Structure 1
Amino acid sequence: MNLQGALLCRSSAFALTCAAVAALSPAFAQDNPSADQSPAQSSAAASDADIVVTGSRVGRKGYDAPTPVNVVGEERLKQLAIDNVADALNQIPSFRPINTPASTFFRVSGNIGARTLDLRGLGATRTLTLVDGRRFVPSADDGTVDINGVPSMLIQRTEVVTGGASAAYGANAVSGVVNLILDTKLNGIKANASYGISQRGDASSLFVGAAGGTDFAGGRGHIVAAVEYAREGGIGPCEERSWCTRYTNYVPNPGYNTTTRTSTNGLPATLVLQGTSFVYNENGILVGARKPNGAGGTITLGQQVLNTGATSLPNALRGRQFDSNGNLVPYQFGNYLSGILQQLDDPTQPYALGLSPLPLMVPTKHVSGTVHADYELTDSITASVEFMYSKVTGGPTARSAPLDAGVAIDINNPFVSDATRASVLAADPAITHLIINSSSWALGSLSKATSKVDTYRGAFALKGQLTDNWDWDAYYTYGQVKSWVGADNNRLAEWNSALDVVSAPAGLPGITAGTPICRTTIANPTNGCIPINLFGFGNISQAAIDRYIVPEWQTREFKQHAAAVNLRGSPFSTWAGEVKVALGGEWRRDTAEGDVDPNTRAGKFIAANGSVLPFTKTSVVEGYLEVAVPLLKDSALGRSLDVDGAIRQTHYDPFGDATTWKLGAVYSPIEDITFRVTRSRDIRAPSARESSPNATTIQLPLPDPFVGGTTSQFVVTGGNPGLNLEKGDTFTAGVVLRPSFIRNLNISIDYYDIKVKGAIDSLTGTAIANACKQKNLLCNLIQFNPNGSINTVFSNFQNLSKLHAEGIELVSDYQVPALGGNLNFQINGNYVIDLSTIDATGVKTQLDNWTGNAGSVTNIQGVPRWKLDGVITYSRPTWSMTFHGRYIPRALLDPTKIGPEQAGYDINDPNSISENHISARFYLDMTGTLKVNDSFEIFGTVNNVFDKDQPQELRLIGNPLHFDPIGRFFKIGVRTRW
């Protein structure tokens, strides 16, 4: 059997069906192991020793695990010409690709362009990532691991446990475990090189990698090493793709009366329109006026005064913008003007201001290397050492150009022309301020950020045999991550003061009377404030730019010490076989700390990207016991029945104690069918960001439902060292089919149900106050004054929410000889019954059947109802062709709204919307490989063969979690091995 067959036998489709491999076609018969061997054993010199599969600590053959184990092998990466194992994993329907270069383009964070893994859509923090069964140092505040930091060249396979596994591996294995297994027995040298580019000339990719291994010391030792370099060019702003320049967005229906909840124009409350824009312009758009003490009110776009003239704003001022000289000139408004949104825009707006020039896919590059050596100290004890280093660079990414909404410009501002001032006062002498919306897009994007993450990891391990039935292992690992993120352009809060410009009065020292100055300079002539002219393209002085738009930075350092010892063996046998036992203990200490630039530390930015992370330490000591007991073997009641149980006791400092457990069973009534079931209790430990003592208290005027009106309240936000462990309950049940009448067909179907209690979340102070008043909930998060009013609200992280993931996973494989070669079919599917969150106030957010986006580039979370991924490979001795297809079905644009095709649609409903579905998409990739000789092959790939755009109903930047943002993409490469 070839390596692909061996690895596929370890997938959840094959986890319990390796005996069926004995019936493989004659084309594979020469490599076929006996029915009693696991595929991993056969591919490793057919050893009779049991192996340890992910999700269990006892020695097993790969087919008897009660928890589904899906394997993505090296062969899949080759077939699809994938360079990064995370990209291969994120194609599997059970993953939600929440952090990739295509989905993190909008995030100015400590790890731009990271690749993390999110099983079941429960969040990457609830998916435990291991390397050779050992924890890996986190690379971000949320405790997640960036897969870029592990060289794909040396990854032999990835075992994915799609169910809770905290009893086996400890905290954070709530939705599952991803175990990256290195090829530490590699002999010889292999090398890969590839280059790719999109049909549109961007999204380039370059990969070069090599790995090698050899014996030393007469075969007592073995050493392997690998190094790789990868660079991805990314994609520029929205305008680089036609699907994005549709500028699809929500626009509130201007004909919908929110008071009476009725539509006056026959349209629903929310319109989904193409060609939308925000009402901003470099010149400054006049959106209202203000009179003394607010007399007459501030005229806003929401009242549509700019088009209709239905308010007290003088007719002469409606629909105007400023030119570069401060004169009022016409502004062309679009249709359906509502708030700051409209359809179409003035020709002077260069693009969707407020959106561009954000990159659609962030550039990344990484270099990584690993050295691993084993040495047999004695015939029964082997020592190993390992060192791994990676440097990952992400960016640049960016925020949009500066936006200033509702800026009050004094009528006597010297940048307002005399002609404009005269016309305004002639229309209404009581006007004191003009209200404008402005986008200073001549300045380019804000926060042009790049991150650099250096990861160091070392390991020392011993393993040995005590007796024929007992073996042991022990290890110590140390990992360290140093990250830096720098953003070139961010606005200081002084920018807002510099917008309030007046003419200098006589008598200010060193300032000529009549010179434009900041109003604050009158009281403090030496404050250095430089006035800003918002009128006209490029009229902000370079001196003002240099003063108010400055760099910022953030640093992080994460350290992890871990040590463990494990013992496993068989103390005795029953009538059905050996009872297997595994027990052990683990100690771990994680620390995190980070700093920021002085301006961020002092709170001087309008919107800072970085944050201080005070020193945070988490220590854990835990021990576990796992027992596997066979109860049936070739009996009248069935072919086999095995029961497996595990328990782990954990003590966290500072989060307290927890007991996690697992109970599972595997039953085969006949050889053709196997049933499996598992129930487990799992936990997640708070991350450094959540448990940080970095809580901030600010005083705000907020509604107070206990005394009525608005009161001054202290609001605590940020970290909370007093958090508890999250608790999860997982149930899985499945069936594995290997019908003897259809040779080489293997199918597994597994049901999963994961419930998380005490999920860490935060709520606004107002939401907490209302929940306490109306539902008698969360009152413990409020401190009251003696008169009954609110004094303090704790809006920092708390164990508040509930999460639920329920669904069915399908994995299947079929191999058959055909046309002188071999055909291999693989299908992965996932059907989501429910994916939802319930916050502490009882508000439920449904995330399933949702492939739309929320319109905000920082909030894309939903998953389709179901998803299919299939691979078909036809191989001959000298060449092969692989076809990879994935299907995303039609789903909702917004689960909180009701569209025309949904039950209960009513245009008078405030939740009504003109369109509430996202079209389906099918993507096809093709890869061809030509074997030149036994040690050299070339390959070529076309991804997205039909050049499918993202669905037109998606808002703004689309949804890169599920839909391809690149388009047709070409890659060529070579592989060699000798």
Structure 2
Amino acid sequence: MDIKGEARFVSAVICLMGTTSFMGLAAPAAAQDAASAPAGLSKGAAEDGAASDIVVTGSRIRRANEVQSTPVATLGAAELASRGTVNVVEALSALPAVGANSLSPSGAPRNTLLAGLYTVDLRALGSSRTLVLVDGKRYVSGLQGSSAVDISTIPTDLIDRVEVTTGGASAVYGSDAIAGVVNFVLKKKVDGLQLRAQSGISSRGDAGQYKLGLIGGGSFADDRGGFVFYANYDRTRPVFAANRSISSDGVAVADPTRPDLALFGPASYTSLRTTQGVFGLNGATVTGATIRRTVLPDGTIATPLGSRDGDNPNEYNIIYSPSERYMFGARLNYELGSDINLTIDGSYAHNDTLQRFEPTFLNSGSSNIGGPTGLSNTIPVSNPFVPAALRALIPAGRTDISFARDFTEFGPRDLDYTRQLYRFVAGLDGKFEVMGRNWSWEAYYEYGRTTLDETMRNGIDTQRFYQSQRVEANGAGGYRCVDAAARAQGCIPVNLFTGQPLTQAEIAWLGASATIHSTNTQQVAAASVTGDLFNITTSPVAFAAGVEWRKESSNYVPSEALRNGLISLQYAGITKGDFTVKEAFAELTVPLLEGVPLVDYLEVEGAYRYADYSISGGASSWKVGGTYRPFSGLRFRGIYAKAVRAPNINDLFRGATGNLANVSDPCRGGGTTSARQQYCLAQPGISAGFNPPATTQVQQSVVGNPNLTPEIAHTLTLGGVLTPSFVRGLSLSVDYFRIKIDDAITSLAAQTVIDQCANTNDPVYCSTVIRDTASGVILRNNSVPINAAQELLKGIDVELAYRTRIDAVPGIGRLGDTLSLQLNYTRTIAYDTAPFDGAPTIKLRGQPFYPANKGNLQLTYVNGPLSASLNERYIGKVYRVVGGTFDGNAVPSFWYTDVQFKYDISEQFAFYAGMNNATDKKPPFFPVPYVGTSTGTNTAASVYDLRGRFMYAGVTVKF
């Protein structure tokens, strides 16, 4: 849909809303006494807004919710409870505005930092562009060096509501609010105790969940003081890849862009993942069956790629991570005087999580050996263990043999994570009057700290492996390691050519483990004031202003083995850094007209924030907008804003983390264009006849860039809200959104950087390409994040809320029941990205992680003590390859059905039971190349449900 098409769509919706509203002018006045909740608001939030002015996420000014210009979707405590959530993650994932990321326990099992971490990613723009608040205050990050908050550390039972506003909100809240803000509003008052116990299990007998939660509170000192506390324990059991048909076998794709799509299953891929090993005879990376051999257990030399048994890596993998979490905290508030209050909050959370991968796989072309040490990952021909039959096949002049082998003797690679969070907030707030007008103020200090301790087990020490393959005769009829220093440490020659498992002594020599310790620390000191200035209409001109100081620091320390690339993973350097930011902000709302013909209410607003970062300098953000209500029941709203995301510590100070990349040298043959020729021939060692291999492997080291500047986004939201008086309890909102990000921070692939260097001779790219000064060949690419990418996202949000009483049914009689409906729908019109200016546009809309259509429908029925809810989650059609025409490219739309029944046995005791994915919908098949990253699941695990039908039951008891 082009811009004109979008405009027509929005105009049509606005006209429809206007026409419907005018029809309502003739409705009886008596119908107007039915207050209906704005779209997305729970009943409690709606009633609060009707009773008095409140502060809603998106603004710091206290005012009636029906004149807010920023769309806000709210999940109330009742909605959270109706989903049977162990933590709030599961409820948030149903909102269409929430993108697919690590919200699911199976969302990112292959990432060695994300296990047990649950972040929010509004609009699928990345969790670093979504700001998470708790009671309107920032929350310390759970991921080293980033701003991503682990929302599983927020106690679900204490949440009063979750307010989600989309669109740029940096002028109000600061950096990171490009996609929007998620604000968790906790309960301020609890009387007595409430205990909740819940247990659940999948229909296959795994993925068990257990939860025990306690909240309580009371008052003291003649109600001048109050306290709230909570304690929570929950545990989740794993799901193994072997226990789901879609993930039980590993697969690969020949070429996803061709109509003759071919999938390779166990008979093909496992011969390349054998425990006996595959050996290349040309001294290069294994590339073809005609030059590869396998030594079978009986000593026979065979050609691989036959229909032989091998090792299935997916039989070891955990695809739904287990976890054990406990948390507790308390809040104390006390009236120090008639107009001043003290609030103190403290919280702690602890989470243990396990990831399990297939055993270590080493090959001569992998990134497992290399790192800063630069060890050669091959077996020398001089190795006396090379069988004579294999040696006879080695071409003359070759000195090395390449290899590939699964080291199943070591067992699966386990990664254990322990995450901890500490948070403390102390603040004062109060009220005062200026010339008879009410003002309020707040000042607080917040300290937050998260830690991660990670242990990697069952790896291979790649330096010891290197030493074990450099073997010589020991003069006594046996063999020894060539390296004397290694012998002194106990080096054992390892014979990979027996076709038999390694011995226990060999396993003990080669085995390795590693650890990572990281911390994030956040400190915030802020003060703000808000109140009324004067009146133009009957509603006052309101103002808010404040200052904020924030310090972020992070420390990521891998063990020495990881820092030196001596374990069978990647090498990773120390990341350590911090920055501070000083900010000042102001916000103003100005009601212009009120209660005149065709203008029941008209208001404009604006906000501005200036931030001074210790690393990247000054940055400003702003917003302008307004609300127009021609008459009761119809409201139009709009916001245009500039938002920013400052580079985080990982962007700025990331320690060198490396792997290997296959690249083609654009200078091969002296360059193919005049621009390339000019660059290439200026490089030492390169002449017109320069002829390196067509493809070669180079070290790629990813490091931080302290010269980064903030990302800049311009966001637009236009829409309207219809609450017709002739349909009591109905609310409909439609909003168009557009987010354009310039100078987005991105890390380019090694080939892209090398090509751009040759094409432009720009030092931004060329400074990271390291060539040998004698031969001219590329040795390394020091990849750094740069401000180069562009992103454009456009779409439509629709929210429909309806609540009614069923007073009577013919033939049944009076019921007095309540029926409510909540529909949220998002249509993505476009999601385009470009890695740098002038690069081809990448169309993300319609890819597995970016469906064009998403929706959620919830129906709730209440009859006295009995309530029932039905939740339908919709994921629209996606394509394995956007623009592809081959059979099976389109993946049809999905519906997930969740149900729950609850019965209040008494005021103190309630029982509930439910079923998620009640129809046991199986996920679609997405091999690795389609989704861009390996998850070991053969599907887009954070989009579709891997667990299957899940049943649960629980009780709540109040004292």
Corresponding residue SS for 2:262? strand
Q: Are the equivalent residues in 1 in contact too, given 2:231–2:328 (CA < 8 A)?
A: yes
1:938-957 aligned at under 5 Å gives the runs 938-955=911-928, 957=937
What residue in structure 2 maps to residue 483 of structure 1?
452
- Give the structure 2 partner of residue 770 of structure 1: 755
Deviations 1:109-164 (A, max 9, x none): 34522110000011000100011000111121222110121111211101111111
Greater Cα shift, 238-247 or 450-459 = 238-247
- What residue in structure 1 maps to residue 371 of structure 2? none
Partner in structure 2 of residue 375 of structure 1: 334
Candidates 375, 396, 404, aligned match of 2:363:
404
Q: Pick from 793, 796, 809 the counterpart of residue 808 of structure 1.
A: 796
Instruction: Decide whether aligned partners of structure 1 residues 669 and 399 sit closer, same or farther in structure 2, where only a CA change above 3 A counts.
Output: farther
Partner of 2:675: none
- Distance 1:433-1:954 versus aligned 2 partners, 3 A rule: closer
1:372 to 1:159, Cα distance in 2 relative to 1, 3 A:
same
- Give 1:529 deviation, angstroms: 3.0
What secondary structure sits across from 2:550 in the alignment? strand
Query: Per the alignment, do residues 791 and 380 of structure 1 end up closer, same or farther by CA in structure 2, a change over 3 Å counting?
Result: same
- Aligned residue for 1:581? 543
Instruction: Report the counterpart of residue 897 of structure 2 in structure 1.
Output: 924
Partner of residue 905, structure 1: none
How many angstroms does 1:889 deviate by? 2.1
Q: What residue identity is the alignment partner of 1:759?
A: A
Q: 1:748 aligns with which of 729, 733, 737?
A: 733
1:277 alignment partner in structure 2: 269
Asked if 1:179 is matched to 2:188, the reply is no
Q: Which residue of 2 aligns with 1:492?
A: 461
Is 2:196–2:214's contact at 8 Å kept on the other side of the alignment? yes
TM-superposed CA distance for 1:679, in Å, is 0.4
Give matches, 1:200-599, under 5 Å. 200-236=204-240, 238-245=241-248, 247-252=250-255, 268=259, 270-272=261-263, 277-284=269-276, 286=278, 288-290=280-282, 302=288, 304-305=289-290, 321-328=294-301, 333-334=306-307, 346=308, 348-351=309-312, 353=313, 355-398=314-357, 400-404=359-363, 413-415=383-385, 421-422=388-389, 425=392, 436-446=403-413, 448-467=414-433, 468-498=437-467, 500=469, 502-504=471-473, 506=475, 512-515=476-479, 517-518=480-481, 520-521=482-483, 526=488, 528-535=490-497, 539-599=501-561
The question of whether the paired residues in 2 share the 8 Å contact of 1:105 and 1:358 is answered with: no
Given the superposition, is the C-alpha separation of residues 400 and 697 from structure 1 closer, same or farther in structure 2, using an over 3 Å criterion? closer
AA at the equivalent of 1:959: A
Hey, what does 1:737 align to over in structure 2? 722
Aligned to 1:653: 614
1:249 Cα deviation (Å)? 3.3
> Paired residue for 1:844?
841
Q: Which string of whole-angstrom CA distances, capped at 9 and with x for unpartnered residues, describes residues 444-481 of structure 1? A: 222x1111111111111111111142111111111112
Q: Distance in 1 between matches of 2:763 and 2:856?
A: 44
Q: CA RMSD in A?
A: 3.6
Which among 944, 952, 958 is matched to residue 971 of structure 1?
952
Taking a change above 3 Å as real, the CA distance of residues 25 and 111 of structure 1, as seen in their structure-2 partners, is farther
Name 1:137's counterpart in structure 2: 140
CA distance in 2, matches of 1:679, 1:522: 70
| Aligned-partner residue type, residue 500 of structure 1 | Q
The one-letter code of the counterpart of 1:627 is: L
- Measured in 2, the distance between the counterparts of 1:324 and 1:416 equals 14
Partner Cα distance (1:183, 1:793) in 2: 52
Give secondary structure in 1 for the equivalent of 2:90. Answer: helix
Secondary structure of the 2:172 match is helix
1:603, CA displacement in angstroms?
Answer: 3.2
**Preserved contact between residue 801 and residue 840 of structure 1 (Cα < 8 Å):** yes
Quote the offset at 1:626 in angstroms.
0.5
Is contact 2:525-2:548 (8 Å) kept? yes
* Separation in 2, partners of 1:726, 1:149: 28
State the alpha-carbon separation in 2 of the partners of residues 595 and 605 from structure 1: 15
Are 1:670 and 2:631 an aligned pair?
A: yes
Query: Contact 1:650/1:657 (CA < 8 Å) preserved in 2?
Result: yes
> In terms of mean alpha carbon deviation, does 642-651 or 427-436 score higher?
427-436
1:309 match: none
Deviation of 1:563 after TM superposition, in Å, equals 1.0
The TM-score, its normalising length taken from structure 2, stands at 0.84
- Please tell me whether residue 796 in structure 1 is matched to residue 784 in structure 2: yes
Partner letter of residue 710 of structure 2? L
Contact between 1:695 and 1:717, CA under 8 Å: does it hold in 2?
A: yes
Partner amino acid for 1:972?
Answer: A
Cα gap change, 1:194 to 1:123, in 2 (>3 Å):
same
Give unpaired runs (5+ residues) of structure 1: 1-12, 257-266, 306-312, 335-345, 507-511, 852-861, 901-913
- Shift, 1:361, TM fit: 0.7
* Distance 1:976-1:691 versus aligned 2 partners, 3 A rule: same
Read off the aligned partner of 1:825 and give its amino acid letter: L
Counterpart CA distance in 2 for 1:549 and 1:490 is 6
The one-character-per-residue Cα deviations of 1:605-661 (angstroms, maximum 9, x if unpaired) are 2423754222x1111111111110111212113211111100011111111101110
Once the 2 structures are TM-superposed, how far is the Cα of residue 815 of structure 1 from its aligned partner?
Answer: 1.6
Distance 2:28 2:406 in 1: 66
Stretches of structure 2 that go unaligned for 5 or more consecutive residues are: 1-16, 366-376, 668-679, 810-814, 929-935
For the 8 Å contact 1:111–1:485, the answer to whether it is kept is no
Match of 1:703 in 2: 665
- Cα deviation per residue 1:692-734 (whole Å; 9 max; x = unaligned)? 1635899999836313548999976311222111111111111
**How far 1:546 moved relative to its partner?**
2.2
> In 2, distance between residues paired with 1:918 and 1:240?
23
The count of aligned residue pairs is 874
Residue 892 (structure 1) aligned with residue 879 (structure 2): yes
User: 1:718 and 1:673 mapped to 2: Cα distance?
Assistant: 53
Could you tell me whether the CA contact under 8 Å between 2:821 and 2:857 is conserved in 1?
yes
Equivalent residues of 1:925, 1:943 under 8 A apart: yes
CA contact (8 A) 1:868 1:886 kept: yes
- Rate the CA distance shift 1:773–1:944 in 2: closer, same or farther, 3 A: same
TM-score with structure 1 setting the length: 0.82
Q: What is the CA–CA distance in structure 1 between the aligned matches of 2:342 and 2:394, rounded to whole Å?
A: 88
**What is the correspondence of 1:859-874 to structure 2 with a 5 Å cutoff?**
862-874=849-861
Same amino acid, percent of matched pairs: 27
Between the aligned partners of 1:608 and 1:713, the Cα distance in structure 2 is 14
In the alignment, the residues of structure 2 paired with residue 98 and residue 481 of structure 1 have an alpha-carbon distance, to the nearest angstrom, of 21
